[in-house]
Amino acid sequence: MADDGAAEKKTPGEKSSPAEKDGEDSPFNFVTVDGDVFMRFPIANMSVADHVRSIRNMPMREDDIVIAAFPKCGTHWMWEVTQMLAKGKAEHDSRPKQMVMVEFTPVEDFEPVPSPRVINTHLFPRQLSRELVTKRSRVVHVIRNPKDVAVSMYFHLLQMKGFQDDGVLDLARGFLHGGISPGSFLDYFAYMKEMTQWQREHPEVPVINIYYEDAKKDLVKCVRQLAEFLKVDASDQLCEDIADQCSFKKLKQADETVKVKDKAPDNPIFKDGSLKKMFRKGEVGDWKNYFTAELSEEFDRVVPENLKGCDLKIQYTI
């Protein structure tokens, strides 16, 4: 049995899923900690349970900025935009995004990061630091339509160990009906419901909801909105320069040429030890290339039911 940081010993409150036979490196070998379902985060010398509990107690700062999003909703994109605004320069950060992602980074590694820290996560709000509320750190929540998320997730999961590939349509149906892993980091609808409720319960925490589709339509406008939300002095020229540097083409180029990836440890959940292809297409409406008319209609019928009460502006085309 592979070592999850605790040499086969389970931390109290931690239970493995039945998928252990597939290897503990597989993200689909879920671990249940205090009632929540997590993937096996590759943190050296620390169990999954100890790591997720340390996140709950992570010291936050009032000027922290947290990019929060369900996977494949544009986290990388908005992280780059936000860190450029925070620095006041349209320059790509040499660090890979995962180096400031709470799931993959020991809490103590955030301590020396200078303010303002631009942190990112796919965790549910209840799983984040309690001080996110008490310190009133700013939250940038990124939202993308579920049809495109399902397709993008399929191609992302293809790179992971233990993924059973039954085709994009099968994955999309499971995604729609919560069949991938209900209540886990792969449950889009549970995430959106909780994020909506969390915002209602904590109006004192400054949150901006950024729609992927709106950013694709007018990224300069999106950058200006973020600058206003972050209360940073950003000239029109800087906003235009940031939008240019954060075009899909230039983000992909930077991922291949600017990022110093040997700064980040190998990630055993991926087949080749690291994520080789983060940026695929970055389009709105790519789902049309894969969905049948029947599946599209099923999404149109079920998604509003699954998101009832969330008041989200879902856009499948632009």
Instruction: Give me the sign of the Cα torsion angle 100, 103, 109, 114.
Output: positive
| pLDDT at residue 6, rounded to an integer | 36
For 66, the enclosing helix (H) or strand (E) is: strand 65-69
Measured CA to CA, the distance from residue 111 to residue 87 in angstroms comes to 18
Measured CA to CA, the distance from residue 72 to residue 54 in angstroms comes to 25
Architecture field, domain 59-306: 3-Layer(aba) Sandwich (3.40)
Global pTM value: 0.86
Instruction: Note down pLDDT in tens along the chain; length 318 residues.
Output: 233 333 334 444 444 433 333 445 555 667 889 988 888 777 778 899 999 999 999 999 999 999 999 999 999 999 999 999 999 999 998 888 888 999 989 999 999 999 999 999 999 999 999 999 999 999 999 999 999 999 998 988 887 766 677 888 999 999 999 766 655 678 999 999 999 999 999 999 999 999 999 999 999 999 999 999 999 999 999 999 999 999 988 998 887 777 555 555 555 565 565 555 566 678 899 999 999 999 999 999 999 999 999 999 999 999
Boundaries of every domain in the chain: 59-306
